[in-house]
Amino acid sequence: MELSAKIYIAGHRGMVGSAIERRLRAANYQNLVTRTSQELDLRDQAAVADFFATERPEYVFLAAAHVGGIYANSTYPSDFLYDNLMIQANILQQSYVHHVQKLLFLGSSCIYPRLASQPLREEYLLTGSLEQTNEPYAIAKIAGVKQCQAYRRQHGCSFISAIPTNIYGPHDNYHAQNSHVLPALLRKFHEARMNESPTVEVWGTGTPRREFLHVDDLADACLHLMLRYDGSEPINVGTGEDISIADLARLIQRITGYRGKLRFNALMPDGTPRKILDVSKLASMGWRASIALDKGLASVYALAEWESEPQSMGQSVSTT
């Protein structure tokens, strides 16, 4: 991928897409093509076809997606399924039609079976039942992986897939109900400290274990894969380390300086008991995560612009 190559970043305003844009610019890629959702509705087949016909990108990072935590997935299942299927189908089809040299599709670790052996290996895909709380989103992401493989098999397209673990970082969604567990906890503890609340409630028992990857590490891995990988199988991207939700809450409590008590609401759903990726394939390609969770969280909290996030805390924190 030459530095002058024309690169389209789908979803450049989101947490992952913006990190990919930062990483590419840091590597001196300047011919980047972006569109906001107001400028281009990626669910609109004709609009996406016109965009590709006009811009003709040589490389595509497909980071656009409709995402959210347990509450959002449970409340808007048809939106998660429809939006993600349409976004993926339109971009992949037009990338084939207009001879994109290479495309990277970003999936999600929720595509693996709920009770699969840990750590999760790439070959576990479609070997068991999914976690019900985010099944529509997972099905859409599985379809994206399979679409990349189908275009490669039928048309010889160089479409690859990366499966990231739980991501956090700048430009995250801090909505107390619609976000994932880490940003929701950050906001909840921040507001509890500011309001001097005596307790913070966390959904579930606190026992589920999750793996967290800083989005800048993910962006670095995406560039690494675009430059060095051209296989049909999806590649896991993570740290290879996990933490319980209870310990995560205590870590965030320390980082935010909250001095009250934690209360785990065991009546609320835990989600998948454990989710950690086997990252040995990516490690064999010479890439490993470099940002430790405590340092990453501290930097994210220091830079968060809470005043620009007007949503109230609500009563729940999801554990997707």
- Grouping H, G, I as helix, E, B as strand and the rest as coil, residue 123 is helix
Q: Is 107 annotated as a binding residue?
A: yes
Q: Is 262 helix (H, G, I), strand (E, B) or coil?
A: strand
Is 99 annotated in a binding site? The answer is no
Q: Is residue 165 annotated as involved in ligand binding?
A: yes
Residue 106 labeled ligand binder:
yes
12 known member of a binding site: yes
141 assigned to a ligand binding site: yes
| Residues sharing a CB contact under 8 Å with residue 301, sequence separation 6 or more, in sequence order | 186, 190, 255, 256
281 marked as part of a ligand binding site? no
- Omega within 30 of 0 (cis) for the link into 136: no
203 labeled part of a ligand binding site: yes
Residue listed under structure tokens 């967290």: 212
167 annotated to bind ligand: yes
Task: Check the annotation: does 273 bind a ligand.
Answer: no
CA distance 218 to 180: 17
Strand partners, 164: 237
Q: Round to whole Å and give the CA distance between 187 and 190.
A: 5
CB contact set of 306 (below 8 Å; sequence gap of 6+): 174, 187, 190, 191
Q: Flag whether 300 is marked binding.
A: no
Residue with tokens 């107390």: 176
Q: Is 287 annotated as a binding residue?
A: no
**Is residue 94 a contact partner of residue 47, using CB atoms and an 8 Å limit?**
no
**What is the rounded CA–CA span in Å between residue 253 and residue 8?**
39
Which amino acids are annotated catalytic?
137
164 assigned ligand-binding residue: yes
Structure tokens at 151: 């275009």
Looking up tokens 């296989």, which residue turns up?
231
Whether 308 has a binding-site annotation, put simply, is no
| Tokens matching residue 177 | 């109900």
* Binding residue numbers for NADP(+): 11-17, 106-109, 141, 164-167, 180
* Binding residue numbers: 11-17, 106-109, 141, 164-167, 180, 188, 203, 210, 270
* Binding residue numbers for substrate: 188, 203, 210, 270
